Chains A and B, each alone.
Chain A
Amino acid sequence: MLDQIVLTREQQPVKESIDSRTIAACQQGDRAALRVLFEEYKDRVYSIAMYSMSGDEMAAADVTQQVFLKLMTRINQFRGDSEFATWLYRLVINTCHDEHRKQRRFVSLADSFLQTQASGESPPARYARKELSGRVQSAIAELKPKLRWPILLKYVDGLSYEEIAAVLGCSKGTVASRLNRAHKALGRRLGHLKDQF
């Protein structure tokens, strides 16, 4: 029974595909190199921001822009001691934290619908899918940050426990513990919807 768990989504960790020359060019202020980095990471950065900002598309877009603008000004601080993705995700997390602090004063009225790329879906099916995605977004956004980031790093970019630990600056055991707690919280929050997955 227990060994028959089938994950519903294939996890294919994204390998580092940015070479050092691109980074070096970016460090020289080469905008074309920045564009390469942007194209490589924009969707993952935007997705993390989207889930972190409760599905607020405008906030997610703003965070993504901020991340790449910061990247341009701070890329010289990247020494190659870690994977570029590790460095970038720290930037993403910090930027999301900043945005959360800014938005604390406001009530987010953003809708929680997610852009779906499913084609050929009937309107009712698309609606149901959007609703479900919105609930997942909300549940993830409501996790404590220390539980939310491991989940997003794992499921958006497929980072390993070791990579997540490197981004968050904690041990692999801590990552395992936080992921366990995060999954349990999500399961208890939305477990009743599992038949819809």
Chain B
Amino acid sequence: MFGNHVSSLSAAYFDGQLTPAESNRVAEHLLVCTRCRAEFDAVKSGIGIANQIEIVPAPDDLWSGIAARLDQPNTKPRLWFLKPVAVALAVVLVVGIALWLQPARSAEGQWRVASLGGAPRINSQAIGESSKIGIGQLLETDATSRAQIDVATIGRVEIDPNSRVRLLETNPEEHRLELERGSLSAVISAPPRLFFVNTPSGVAEDLGCAYTLDVDDDGNTVLHVTLGWVALQLMDRESAVPAGAACAMKRGFGPGTPYYEDATQSFRSALATFDFAPNANEKSAALTTVLGEARPRDAMTLWYLLLRSERSERASVYDRMAALVTPPQDVTRAGVLDLDPQMLERWKVKLSIRSDVLPKKEKPRSFWSKVWTETIGRIHGLARKRQH
């Protein structure tokens, strides 16, 4: 019985809008259901209130007002055609502006692509000597083809064979490619942090430079900087890489430690082990090798190792650095071992490491960098997701 509450029928019941059978059901239900009876009482009160609604006599002078307005020169009807004309003109204006802007917007959202050999493809379509790539489109080169992309008006990127590159964004505040696989060489003449390349293992942020990026089939990246600086980033881990230096990024880990390319082979190999090996003993042994092989020029690398080594190892890093490059005044061993920010900053300046790159946590990052680096940081090498 209570499954068929009748409160929604209260007003209709009062108004005699129900069939006799429905009315009987309502009446019987109300006798036994307190909930519906309460609702019914509320409706009943409402009906009592609504019955207070009165017809209010209209003011006597209403008609005179209407008559006066009817007697007025009927200007509006004569201009009735103006409204649709105005609407039509507005539509034409809007459409015209949209059409006028459309080519400009398309051009702005596309980059020119030229074939440097072979048969590069954009979205699987072979391109001629020149074509354009739009946001979201994929440029592919096979083993025999190469291509050059004009990065808006700020530089150019050459795409090597066996590469896959997608245009993610281009606007006055940000130009962004994704290098899924293969290699590219970029020459950018623009303010820092305007041009970005996403890779499966992190983001390369242009700081005004020329560089190459290589992404292998596992999504791991190696950066070689030939001019200026490039920052590599994944989540809170960031490495600023100067000209003449290189840096690896491993999928699911992010950037390793930058190093000058003229460092010894054992230095570079040991550094890779220190950066990416999972075994603590291996890392410790690698650190010993790195410190032993380090030259004064490699103090840049050791400065990063101060931040990335365990406290127990940090003393040996400091001692080796101090032996290679005299610490600035007021920089103490104890302070550095405690990672005193001001002391680290002073030493960094002396080593000419870009001060606009580190420390990382205080530096604002662009929306795209944040999304990309945090996303691929989270998935740790699992299937990549496009940020589009």
Residues of A within 8 A of B (CB): 2-3, 5, 7-9, 31, 35, 38, 42-47, 50-51, 57, 60-61, 64-65, 68-69, 72-73, 114-117, 132-133, 136, 139-140, 151-152, 154-156, 161, 172, 176-177, 179-180, 182-191, 193-194, 197
B58 in contact with A197 (CB, 8 Å) = no
Contact partner of A72 (CB less than 8 A), chosen from B40, B47, B70, is: B70
B51: interface (CB < 8 Å) = yes
Measured between beta carbons, the chain B residues less than 8 angstroms from A46 are 56-59, 62
Q: How far is the CB of A70 from chain B (nearest CB, A)?
A: 11
| A42–B42 CA distance with the chains assembled, in angstroms | 33
Closest B residue to A185 by beta carbon equals B46
B67: interface (CB < 8 Å) = yes
20 extra A-B contacts, CB within 8 A, seeds A69-B70, A115-B56: A3-B27, A5-B47, A8-B51, A31-B67, A42-B62, A42-B63, A45-B58, A46-B56, A46-B57, A46-B58, A46-B59, A47-B55, A68-B66, A115-B57, A154-B50, A155-B50, A176-B9, A182-B46, A186-B49, A191-B49
B17: interface (CB < 8 Å) = yes
Measured between beta carbons, the chain B residues less than 8 angstroms from A179 are 11-12, 15
B interface residues, how many (CB within 8 angstroms): 41
Q: How far is the CB of A49 from chain B (nearest CB, A)?
A: 9
Measured between beta carbons, the chain A residues less than 8 angstroms from B7 are 180
B334: interface (CB < 8 Å) = no
A186 in contact with B62 (CB, 8 Å) = no
A136 in contact with B9 (CB, 8 Å) = no
Q: Which of B7, B51, B56, B63 has the most CB of A within 10 A?
A: B56
A-B contacts counted at CB < 8 A amount to: 151
Contact partner of B46 (CB less than 8 A), chosen from A72, A172, A183, is: A183
Q: Which of B63, B67, B69 has the most CB of A within 10 A?
A: B63
B11 in contact with A176 (CB, 8 Å) = yes
B41 in contact with A132 (CB, 8 Å) = no
A180 in contact with B9 (CB, 8 Å) = yes
| A116–B55 CA distance with the chains assembled, in angstroms | 10
| A57–B50 CA distance with the chains assembled, in angstroms | 20
B66 in contact with A61 (CB, 8 Å) = no
A51 in contact with B53 (CB, 8 Å) = yes
| A197–B48 CA distance with the chains assembled, in angstroms | 7
| A94–B90 CA distance with the chains assembled, in angstroms | 26
Task: Evaluate whether A65 and B45 lie within 8 angstroms (CB atoms) in the complex, with A45-B58, A115-B56 already known.
Answer: no
Q: Which of B39, B43, B49 has the most CB of A within 10 A?
A: B49
| A104–B50 CA distance with the chains assembled, in angstroms | 25
Q: How far is the CB of B68 from chain A (nearest CB, A)?
A: 10
Contact partner of A183 (CB less than 8 A), chosen from B10, B52, B54, B56, is: B10
Contact partner of B49 (CB less than 8 A), chosen from A61, A65, A139, is: A139
Contact partner of B51 (CB less than 8 A), chosen from A7, A42, A65, A117, is: A7
| A9–B46 CA distance with the chains assembled, in angstroms | 13
Task: Evaluate whether A180 and B65 lie within 8 angstroms (CB atoms) in the complex, with A45-B58, A114-B56, A133-B54 already known.
Answer: no
Measured between beta carbons, the chain A residues less than 8 angstroms from B57 are 43, 46, 115, 117
- Listed by A's residue number, 21 A-B pairs whose Cβ atoms lie within 8 Å are A2-B30, A3-B27, A7-B51, A46-B57, A65-B62, A133-B52, A136-B49, A139-B49, A151-B50, A154-B50, A155-B50, A176-B9, A183-B10, A183-B43, A183-B47, A184-B10, A184-B46, A186-B50, A191-B49, A194-B45, A194-B48
Contact with A along B63-88 (1 / 0, CB 8 A): 10111011000000100000000000
Measured between beta carbons, the chain A residues less than 8 angstroms from B63 are 35, 38, 42
Q: How far is the CB of A28 from chain B (nearest CB, A)?
A: 14
Measured between beta carbons, the chain A residues less than 8 angstroms from B47 are 5, 7, 183, 187
Closest 4 CB pairs of A and B: A183-B46, A187-B45, A187-B46, A46-B58
